Amino acid sequence: MTEPTRLDALVAEFAPTLRGLLGEGRRLPRIAFTADETAAAGPHDVTLDAASLDDPAGAALRVAGLLTASESADRIVVPGAGAFVADRFVPEGRVGGRVALVTGAAQGFGLAIAEGLVAQGAFVVLADLNTALAEANAERLASDHGEGRAIAIPMDVTDEASVAAGVSAILHRFGGLDIVVSNAGVLRAASVTTQPLADFDLVTRVNYRGYFLVTKHTAPVLARQHRANPAWWGDIIEINSKSGLQGSSRNSAYAGSKFGGIGLTQSFALELVGDGIKVNAVCPGNFLDGPLWSDPQNGLFVQYLRERKVPGATTVEDVRHAYEAKVPMGRGCDPADVLEAILYLVAQQYETGQALPVTGGQVMLS
Ligand SMILES: NC(=O)c1ccc[n+]([C@@H]2O[C@H](COP(=O)([O-])OP(=O)(O)OC[C@H]3O[C@@H](n4cnc5c(N)ncnc54)[C@H](O)[C@@H]3O)[C@@H](O)[C@H]2O)c1
């Protein structure tokens, strides 16, 4: 991993601290860093001295006292490097003004979660391996909801350098984070007796190690904001699965990675509660209309037909009906169901370390 520059280190500590200090209750402004020292110069400019580089948190404290609480953008100039620009605009919505990272957001649940959060007033970062698709979707969201409301960044959640670089890019663009949705996940279904080790490792790396890495690199950002503003709490939410609550035949790599995700959720929650971070998991049932199930080449309907996971099924439709019949509510899980669970977890102020089923009654907690 490349070492962060002095400027990266300043951005990483100064911006989240200033966000926290300037926040009103649970609403924090966004603090963008621009290399253009002259951009948006205004009456509220403050200049950082060289000593600030050695004590970014102290500098943030001094600056917060100088900035007015006006609606206009405030600038903090870093001579020779650029400027921080604070933006206090709060769009309407249940998560208005929050900054959200959604991993695996190019398609499927992740994209739908990103769309739903933008529609509810958030500024959303779509992070994915599939950069081209994430970018196209972020551009569409920004054109529908306003410039800057959605951006895409490349991220491989299994690669620590990639996750660290992505979080640094978010800090330069928004100055911090309010909601982290660890959604990127893959599934390779097979019998334990025949599954290639490479497939088992891939599932474990994305679903389990990926959640660890995303939490490792975002939790310090959330903690800084809480330290500066104890009234503010952040959220880390893993998109887990009903297979994290109940074993899944011929799908052990996936279920194991998701059971592990619940263990991480509970442990992260215990560790990070003192940093003002709630950590919870959402456990959706099957999103039967999404690409994971319906992709005609590699979707689960096709995989399960091939694997003979549903006795007697001879077509993809047979497999689908068998899965719908398992749900008391008679249908697959929709992205809107998952979004509602996320909005609840963010809004509530007295729950952490939980795994919230969204399964139409298919899996019930005991
Ligand atoms: N689809 C379902 O029925 C279902 C049910 C329960 C839980 N889930 C969970 O929801 C999450 C999303 O699933 P989905 O159905 O939308 O999947 P999907 O395959 O449609 O989308 C997954 C996205 O993650 C991205 N991705 C894969 N590996 C990555 C990596 N290493 N780094 C960054 N991005 C990566 C892909 O490019 C893709 O855009 C997963 O965690 C999955 O386990 C899905």
Residues 160, 274 share a domain = yes
318 within some domain: no
Residues 136, 73 share a domain = no
Residues 268, 122 share a domain = yes
Residue 55 CB contacts under 8 Å (≥ 6 apart), including other chains: none
Our mutation pick for probing the ligand 1 site, out of 130, 133, 186, counting the most ligand atoms within 8 A of Cβ, is 186
Measured distance CA(338)–CA(347) in Å, rounded: 14
211 within some domain: yes
**Residue 108 near ligand 1, beta carbon < 6 Å:** yes
Could you give phi then psi for residue 83, rounded to 5 degrees? -155, 145
Residues 111, 77 share a domain = no
Predicted confidence at residue 307, as pLDDT, reads 82
**Residue 356 near ligand 1, beta carbon < 6 Å:** no
Predicted confidence at residue 292, as pLDDT, reads 83
**Residue 128 near ligand 1, beta carbon < 6 Å:** yes
Angle between helices 335-347 and 108-119 (to 10 degrees): 50
Predicted confidence at residue 180, as pLDDT, reads 99
Predicted confidence at residue 25, as pLDDT, reads 80
pLDDT tens for residues 268-303?
999 999 999 999 999 999 999 998 899 999 888 998
The catalytic residue among 211, 254, 304, 323 is 254
Give me ligand 1 centre to Cα 280, in Å.
Answer: 18
Helix (H) or strand (E) holding 356: strand 355-358
Predicted confidence at residue 146, as pLDDT, reads 97
Domain boundaries, position 52: 6-87
Give me ligand 1 centre to Cα 232, in Å.
Answer: 30
Predicted confidence at residue 71, as pLDDT, reads 55
Q: Using 70 as the pLDDT threshold, list the residues of the chain that sit under it.
A: 1-2, 68-73
Q: Indicate if 211 belongs to the active site.
A: no
**Residue 177 near ligand 1, beta carbon < 6 Å:** no
Tell me the whole-structure pTM to 2 decimals. Answer: 0.96
Residues 110, 56 share a domain = no
pLDDT tens for residues 111-155?
999 999 999 999 999 999 999 999 999 999 999 999 999 999 999
Token pair 């491989």 is at which residue? 156
**Residue 109 near ligand 1, beta carbon < 6 Å:** yes
Give me ligand 1 centre to Cα 220, in Å.
Answer: 25
Residues 131, 272 share a domain = yes
Residues 260, 187 share a domain = yes
290 within some domain: no
**Residue 214 near ligand 1, beta carbon < 6 Å:** no
Could you give phi then psi for residue 43, rounded to 5 degrees? -70, -15
**Residue 294 near ligand 1, beta carbon < 6 Å:** no
Strand partners, 33: 84
Q: Which atom of ligand 1 is nearest to the CA of 130?
A: 37
Residues 131, 187 share a domain = yes
Sign of CA dihedral 243, 249, 254, 257: positive
Give me ligand 1 centre to Cα 187, in Å.
Answer: 8
Q: How many domains does the chain have?
A: 2
193 within some domain: yes
